[in-house]
Amino acid sequence: MTLFKPSPNFSIPGELKYLALSVSLFLVTGCGTTLKTVTPTQADHPYKKIALTVINTHGELRDFSKQSFDSIVNPVFNNLKDMQIRTTLEEMFTRKLSSPATSIIKSSDVFKIHENVSYNDYLNRLQSSGAEAVLIIGLSTSWGSQTSTTHHNDTVTGSNPNFLFLYYLVDLKTAQQVWLGNDRVIYRAENVSAGDVNRALYKSGYISKPVSNTAN
């Protein structure tokens, strides 16, 4: 039985269409991840303490030089606009990467919002916190795919946002990238699998054995 049947002139507002589509996609497809990794430098020991820095940018860190930091990391790693998604991702990755043998330091606990930070200051303050390396998590909207769902002869169409995550594990003593990752995430940025990153870092020898957990 249909409890509510729209009139011929009834139209669903754009915001509600997008919300309905998003909920439907989440229930049907859930999330999808495709983590690929590269290890430029083989680990000789696991890090005991790793810092986290989240950046929302389309830029790619080809290295971790002063120029790369100033142009890509510094403008966004402690900005106000991205504070909410940065906090969410920091919490997710802290839970997954932390273990009795691995401590995690959030950049938000070291640097204030809108604080002016130089390249050397960034490296020195993270090292002073005890971190041996920093995992830089780069997030950007990568593409959108057209999708549609039909329910009771009503079709909702829209764009399904997807996200690209780029990971850079940087040794703080050498400022060299020692581990890299690339992940494509469907629907919501929060669907990224921090557990996949955790396991990949363990397999590469950069963290100790992760705590067993099947959730993201």
Order of strands across the sheet with 154-171? 36-38, 176-186, 154-171, 133-151, 49-56, 103-106
Q: What is the pLDDT of residue 157?
A: 66
- Within a domain: residue 89? yes
Residue 147 lies in domain: 32-203
Helix (H, G, I), strand (E, B) or coil at 24: helix
Q: How many residues does the chain have?
A: 216
| Rounded CA Rg of the chain | 20
Give CA–CA dist 190/159, Å, rounded: 18
> Which regions of the chain are under pLDDT 50?
1-32, 214
- Within a domain: residue 160? yes
- Within a domain: residue 105? yes
- Residue 30's region, left for phi above 0, alpha for psi from -120 to 50, else beta, is left
Domain containing 198 — which CATH number? Answer: 3.30.160
Instruction: Please check whether residue 46 is in contact with residue 102, taking contact to mean a CB–CB distance below 8 angstroms.
Output: yes
Q: What is the pLDDT of residue 162?
A: 80
